[in-house]
Amino acid sequence: MCGRFAITLPDEAVARLFAATPSNDLPPVPRYNVCPTQDVAAVTSAGAARRLRPMRWGFLPHWYKCPTDGPLLINARAESIAKKPAFRDAASARRCLIPASGFFEWTKDAEGKRLPWYIHPAESDALAFAGIWQDWEAEGVRLTTCAIVTTAASTALSAIHHRMPVVVAPDDWPLWLGEAGHGAARLMRPAP
C-alpha cells in the first residue's frame, strides 16, 4: 500500500482547500487510477506560503544515476523513514501533502480473482496523504519526486490490507508541512 489512488477534485478546489497557490503545470483531473511514476499534485510549504505543484510519484534518492537505477520507491514506511538513508533527510526537511479522493486496495476471492476496494472518506471529497519529496538530477534531467508515507492499517482496514497511507487531518497540515514547528513524527500513525 499505497499503489493506486484517485483524485477527482478540480485543481482550483484543491488549491482553495489547502490555501495553496497552484502551479500552471499540474496533472489533469479527474483521475480515477493514479499510478506510480505518474505526476501527482502535492502541497509544499516554504514558511507560510503553500504551493500546489506537480511531482513524479516514485521517490528518487540523490545517488540514483537514472530513474530506473534502483527499486521504485513509491511508499516510505513510517516506522523506518527516519533511519533509511533514502528517506531520512526528506522526512525531516521536505514533507508534503498529497491530495486524494480515495485509494485502492485489493483482496482475492476463493478462486484467486483480485477484487478492488475503494477506500474514501465518508463525509468529505478529499483527504491528504503524508508525503516526502526530493529534487533529483542526473545528466541534465531534473525531476521533483515524492513518496507516500504508510503505516500499519487501522482496525477497520486491516481485513483488507495490513498497510495504509498516513492520512493527515486538516488541523495537522501545518505541523506536517513544518509550518507549526517540530513534532510531525507523532502524525505517522493509522487514522482512527
116-143 pLDDT per residue, tens? 999 999 888 899 999 999 999 998 999 9
Q: In this structure, what DSSP letter does residue 82 have? A: T
pLDDT band at 191 (very low <50, low <70, confident <90, very high): low
CA–CA distances in Å: residue 71 to residues 37, 59, 64, 126, 173: 12, 10, 10, 29, 29
Catalytic residues: 2, 105
| Domains of the chain, CATH where assigned | 5-186 (3.90.1680.10)
pLDDT in the model for residue 90: 97
Q: Could you read off the pLDDT of 140-182 as tens digits, one per residue?
A: 999 999 999 999 988 887 888 889 999 999 999 999 999 998 8
pLDDT in the model for residue 2: 72
Q: Which residue has the higher pLDDT, 3 or 31?
A: 31
Stated as kind and residue range, the H or E segment containing 90 is: helix 88-93
Instruction: Report the Cα 111 to chain-centroid distance in Å.
Output: 32
DSSP 6-63: EE-S-HHHHHHHHTEEEPTTPPPS-EEEE-TTSEEEEEEEETTEEEEEEEEESB--TT
Q: Could you read off the pLDDT of 39-86 as tens digits, one per residue?
A: 999 999 987 799 999 999 999 999 999 999 999 999 999 999 999 999
Q: Read off the pTM.
A: 0.94
- Pick from 91, 67, 64, 71: nearest CA to 148: 91
The mean pLDDT value for 93-112 works out to: 94
pLDDT band at 1 (very low <50, low <70, confident <90, very high): low
pLDDT band at 192 (very low <50, low <70, confident <90, very high): low
Stated as kind and residue range, the H or E segment containing 116 is: strand 114-119
